[in-house]
């Protein structure tokens, strides 16, 4: 847990890959709370609606789009 916090504090960018579990979403939200740039890649899954996903700077359905954007 401490290692995750340290890695998130060190990072400039947080990427959340969907679908994922609550722990990954919590780590991503911590990064957002720290003011980190954030990207969500993928689809949350059928019937899943998470308002916190609206906090992302970028929401993309494809990792290729993200790589191109970062390139």
The per-residue pLDDT for 49 is 65
State how far the Cα of 56 lies from the Cα of 2, in Å rounded to an integer: 23
Q: What's the domain range around 8?
A: 2-70
Q: What are the pLDDT digits (tens) for 12-47? A: 999 999 888 889 989 999 999 999 999 999 877 666
pTM, rounded to two decimals:
0.78
* Helices (runs of H) and strands (runs of E) counted in the chain: 3, 3
Question: In sequence order, which residues have a C-beta less than 8 Å from that of residue 71 and are 6 or more positions away?
Answer: none
> Crossing angle for the helix pair 2-10 and 22-33, nearest 10 degrees?
40
C-alpha of 41 from chain center: 7
Number of domains in the chain: 1
């Amino acid at each position: 847990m401490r290692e995750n916090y340290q890695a998130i504090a060190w990072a400039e960018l947080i990427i959340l890959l969907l679908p994922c579990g609550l722990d990954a979403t919590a780590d991503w939200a911590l990064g957002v709370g720290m003011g980190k740039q954030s990207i969500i890649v993928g689809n949350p899954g059928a019937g899943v609606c998470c308002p916190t996903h609206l906090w992302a700077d970028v929401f993309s359905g494809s990792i290729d789009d993200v790589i191109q954007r970062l390139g």
